[in-house]
Amino acid sequence: MIDFKQLADQYRDELLERVMPFWMEHSIDHEMGGFFTCLERDGSVYDTDKFIWLQCREVWMLSVLYNKVERRQAWLDAAVQGAEFLKKYGHDGQYNWYFSLQRDGQPLVQPYNIFSYTFAVIAFGQLYLATGNAEYADVAKRTFDIVLQKRQCPKGQWSKAAPGARALKDFALPMILCNVALEIEHLLEPAFLQQTIGICLHEVLDVFYRPELDLIVENVSQEGELVDCHEGRLLNPGHAIEAMWFIMDLGKRLGRPELIEKAAHIALREVEYGWDKQYGGIFYFMDRLGRPLQQLEWDQKLWWVHIETLITMLKGYELTGNPECLTWFEKVHDYTWSHFRDPEHDEWFGYLNRRGEVLLTLKGGKWKGCFHVPRGLFQCWQTLQRLAEQS
């Protein structure tokens, strides 16, 4: 029998005593503002470029902790300085968010990536909740408007698709919007919120989820059909599993238990499909027809895949009572804590090879920052706490 209280404490302690202190100590650029995210195993800075995804995500994470855990001034101060850096340097003046900046804020890579925008939305939306500063709400709303405008052609001028070419749409955007919509519901008109959520749910569950496979695919045709090409065959189990807790949150918020049931079903199917029967852990990429992948990193075990699975399985168990969710939580918990957690230094490794050996010693980089580990620890702690109180 699982001791939910003890587990809740384990997740809380890891978050508050080993993970957030790492970011608070090593990531804040006290000289030029914003955050360093390229941090070695011991927290030393190995590169000073600033990636907008991760700048935004750290502002968001700090604001969430301030809003939901404890009114710690240091968290708020760090979030505000990050947001001020982003306001000043992160976009082109029209809320077109660059992909990356030099340490001093000089733009490096153009605003080609729509997720820089979506993470700006959640950062400023959450910081507005912490501060009540209307300027932050305004940045979030204006940026969200641009995201919605760009939805049909998110890459804009940087798209390499030849005109008239086989056009695909990808799962990532509707999936993230499921989460963004709930994140900024305090800033949206209720009717508009409902409509946006409805579209996202439809895309995730009726378009990218394929009943004939009982799996979510990463790309479909503009007409919503399966395509037999590399992108059209691509599966990313962690991505699908992460989306399922967004759906569960929506199901809870909307009072629609059938959404939660469906999400739990899909998540269980994905984790079984994605689990590496030989070495354990969940594969990064798979091909739905079993064909060779273009992604050379397909067999690696990534931190976020496993942490998102923990969140989903716990929420699935809490909301549906399905014991399979709990069994998978335990299995993935054991793998994750024994492989990703660094016993010597704070924070967790991000990239393991197929065998579960550390592939890169970094704690943060271009894609890993103050986000999946602390968000996952926070989410699991909260869910475990509720389960402990119920039992």
User: For a second copy, what does the binding mask look like between residues 315 and 354, x meaning CB under 8 A?
Assistant: ------------------------------------x-xx
* Angle between helix 303-320 and 237-254 (nearest 10): 30
- Residue 198, strand partner residues: none
For position 365 contacting a second copy by CB under 8 A, the verdict is: yes
* Angle between helix 237-254 and 172-183 (nearest 10): 30
Q: How many CB atoms lie within 10 A of CB 226?
A: 14
Which residue in the set 2, 21, 29, 110 belongs to the binding site for a second copy (CB under 8 A)? 110
Tokens representing 260?
């939660």
Residue 3 neighbours by CB under 8 Å, 6+ apart: none
Q: How many CB atoms lie within 10 A of CB 291?
A: 10
Counting beta carbons within 10 angstroms of the beta carbon of residue 144, is it exposed (0 to 12), middle (13 to 18) or buried (19 or more)? buried
Q: Provide the CA 140 distance to its chain's centre, in angstroms.
A: 18
For residue 58, the minimal CB distance to a second copy (Å) is: 19
User: Which among 100-108, 243-251, 260-268, 336-344 is the span making contact with a second copy, rule CB under 8 A?
Assistant: 100-108
Which residue in the set 17, 158, 224, 272 belongs to the binding site for a second copy (CB under 8 A)? 158
Which residue in the set 9, 29, 42, 49 belongs to the binding site for a second copy (CB under 8 A)? 49
Q: What is the rounded CA–CA span in Å between residue 223 and residue 206?
A: 12
Count of alpha carbons within 13 Å of 41, Cβ hemisphere only?
12
Nearer of residues 345 and 366 to a second copy, judged by Cβ: 366
For position 109 contacting a second copy by CB under 8 A, the verdict is: yes
Q: Are 264 and 316 in contact (CB under 8 A)?
A: yes
For position 107 contacting a second copy by CB under 8 A, the verdict is: yes
Tokens representing 216?
């979510």
For residue 321, the minimal CB distance to a second copy (Å) is: 38
SS (H, E, C) 303-332: HHHHHHHHHHHHHHHHHHCCHHHHHHHHHH
Which residue in the set 195, 222, 294, 391 belongs to the binding site for a second copy (CB under 8 A)? 294
Nearest CA-CA partner of 97 in 82, 126, 118, 127: 118
User: For a second copy, what does the binding mask look like between residues 206 and 245, x meaning CB under 8 A?
Assistant: ----------------------xxx---------------
For residue 246, the minimal CB distance to a second copy (Å) is: 25
Q: What is the rounded CA–CA span in Å between residue 33 and residue 103?
A: 9
For residue 158, the minimal CB distance to a second copy (Å) is: 6
Which residue in the set 31, 160, 191, 343 belongs to the binding site for a second copy (CB under 8 A)? 160
For position 361 contacting a second copy by CB under 8 A, the verdict is: yes
Q: Are 229 and 291 in contact (CB under 8 A)?
A: no
Nearer of residues 112 and 273 to a second copy, judged by Cβ: 112
For residue 301, the minimal CB distance to a second copy (Å) is: 11
For residue 294, the minimal CB distance to a second copy (Å) is: 5
Q: Provide the CA 364 distance to its chain's centre, in angstroms.
A: 15
- How many chain residues touch a second copy (CB under 8 A)? 43
For position 165 contacting a second copy by CB under 8 A, the verdict is: yes
CA 18, 24, 29: angle at the middle one, nearest 5?
145
For residue 384, the minimal CB distance to a second copy (Å) is: 31
Which residue in the set 183, 218, 299, 347 belongs to the binding site for a second copy (CB under 8 A)? 299
The residue ranges that bind a second copy (CB under 8 A) are 38, 40, 46-47, 49, 98-99, 102, 106-110, 112, 157-158, 160-162, 164-166, 228-230, 289, 291-294, 296-297, 299-300, 351, 353-354, 359-362, 365-366
